[in-house]
Amino acid sequence: MMSGPSAAELARQHAAGTTPATKSVEQAFARAAEVDAGPGGLNAILWDDREAALGAAARVADLARQGHQPGPLAGVPVVVKDNIATLTMPTTCGSRILEGYVSPYEATVVTRLRTAGAIVIGKTNMDEFAMGSSTENSAYGPAKNPLDPTRVPGGSSGGSAACVAAGIVPVALGSETGGSVRQPAAFCGIVGVKPTYGRVSRYGLVAFASSLDQVGVFGRSVEDAAIGLGAIAGRDRYDSTSADAAVDDYAATVSETLKGVVIGRPREYFPDSLDARIRERCDAAFDTFRQLGATVRDVSLPHTDLAIPTYYIIAPAEASSNLARFDGVRYGVRAKAATLREMYADTRSHGFGREVTRRILLGTYVLSAGYYDAYYRKAQEVRALIADDFQKVFDSGVDMLFTPTAPTTAFPIGAKSDPYEMYLSDIFTATANLAGIPALSLPIGRVDGLPVGGQVMARHFAEAALFRAAFALELALGEAAHR
């Protein structure tokens, strides 16, 4: 795997003027040309804007020359998932229906990245409207895993994960509705964090399931992910669902000790059917936590097995409502037709792919009169039970939970044609979205050369604790995290 300098290191060099930001941005584009573009490439980047990126980098270099502090991500090249609105590049959500669509406004997370000095060099491939776990559902072709291009990078933020793992950029943004940052982070051997629901503004994030969606951050290291989240977190007056809670200085507190910290091992995340080699990697991580002074406690989250059916009712229900806006009138492409009704039907039938169509049908069904109580309302009740499981464990004195991120390593492209089998990829990740708590995945070793992710979860707004545990584990594992 290509490693390259960290975001922290690059920002230091750019601020000190020892390396001009323009050089790092040129290098990011050169690396993308080498590994990403063309028929044999990773297909991780859908759109880019070289001219704007180099212009922004030149401004950072000027600031540094004039002795100004250009920010914690000074001149650091980053990529963002294609469902996050940018001004000079398209925002297509990996869908035909938004082909060529350029947003008239910018997402708050993008504005904040730029304010921190970052240079957004491109938009990344994704499962259409973030529905999927492999990036195979993109209308623009699948993205590939840099560690083995015959395999998926995970999804739905697979393009962003692939860019970080391939050494194009050290930090990237993705989005999470049910694991779409943590699972690709695990598959690509990098760090991915889903913040608490409300921690980060969603202004300019194209809505999938509004009670679950959050922007998340990828980093090649825990520190880089912490710097990235620090740059985008916090209340935004353009998003009334963003929380007012104070933002901790994640990067400054990552190295605090784990002495006295209680880490829970939820038995439902270690079923007998779990791949023994993934279990072994997790057990080694628990041993490391103990050596670092933490206590490991067996706990139970009894409603875990209900997470997938619950998630796959709530997410499609909300999606069927959110995606009603793509009607051929307001955004993107419009089919030619004789009547208005035909225009709507043709635009949507041709514009949406199979999985998105399936979700809209499912979602419309579970919300329809006569079925609402049996499905949607029931799912909301079960969701409350799942959230309560976590609350009880945290209230009993457990600071964090540690689990595998995914039940498998990266699978071959084309291996999962049954949608239900694909949904099971999210078994360990969808729970945190349903409960609204923060969670992070980091590499904890390899199985047959493919990365295994370990997941840390904590109570609402305790992102600093996640970074602290992950940083300590990353440091203690060292090279073993990639072997």
H/E stretch holding 351: helix 340-351
Residue 424's CB: how many other CB atoms inside 10 A? 14
**CA distance linking residue 440 with residue 192, whole number of Å:** 6
Stretch that binds ligand GLN, among 8-16, 130-138, 230-238, 396-404 (CB under 6 A): 130-138
- Which of the 8 DSSP states describes residue 195? P
130 binds ligand GLN (CB under 6 A): yes
Smallest distance, ligand GLN to C-beta of residue 323, A:
13
450 counts as binding ligand GLN under rule CB under 6 A: no
Q: For residue 156, say if its preceding peptide bond is cis, omega within 30 degrees of 0.
A: yes
Q: Which is nearer to ligand GLN, 178 or 328 (CB)?
A: 178
Tell the smallest beta-carbon distance from residue 42 to ligand GLN (Å).
Answer: 20
300 catalytic per annotation: no
Q: Which residues contact 389 (CB under 8 A, 6 or more apart)?
A: 300, 301, 302, 303, 304, 435
23/358 with CB nearer ligand GLN: 358
Stretch that binds ligand GLN, among 5-13, 171-179, 394-402, 444-452 (CB under 6 A): 171-179
Active site residue 156: yes
Distance of CA 250 to the CA centre of its chain: 18
Distance, in Å, from the CA atom of 192 to the CA atom of 78, rounded to the nearest integer, reads: 14
Scanning 42-50, 172-180, 231-239, 397-405 for contacts with ligand GLN by CB under 6 A, the matching segment is 172-180
| Nearest distance from C-beta of residue 331 to ligand GLN, angstroms | 20
Q: Is 177 in the site for ligand GLN (CB under 6 A)?
A: yes
Nearest of 224, 79, 260, 99 to residue 159 by alpha carbon: 79
Q: What x-and-dash track marks residues 179-198 binding ligand GLN by CB under 6 A?
A: xx------------------
Q: Which of 7, 313, 315, 400 binds ligand GLN (CB under 6 A)?
A: 315
Q: Would you state the structure tokens that stand for residue 267, as one six-digit string?
A: 């038995």
Least distance in angstroms from the C-beta of 453 to ligand GLN: 15
Residues 432, 219: contact at Cβ < 8 Å? no
Which helix (H) or strand (E) segment is 173 a member of? Answer: strand 171-176
From 134, 157, 160, 180, the catalytic residue: 180
Q: Is 178 in the site for ligand GLN (CB under 6 A)?
A: yes
Rg, Å, the chain Cα set: 21
Distance CA 90, CA 372 (A): 36
Does position 288 interact with ligand GLN (CB under 6 A)? The reply is no
> Is 318 an interacting residue with respect to ligand GLN (CB under 6 A)?
no
Structure tokens at 315: 């997410």
Residue 242 within binding range of ligand GLN, rule CB under 6 A: no
Residues that bind ligand GLN (CB under 6 A): 130-133, 156, 175-180, 208, 315, 426
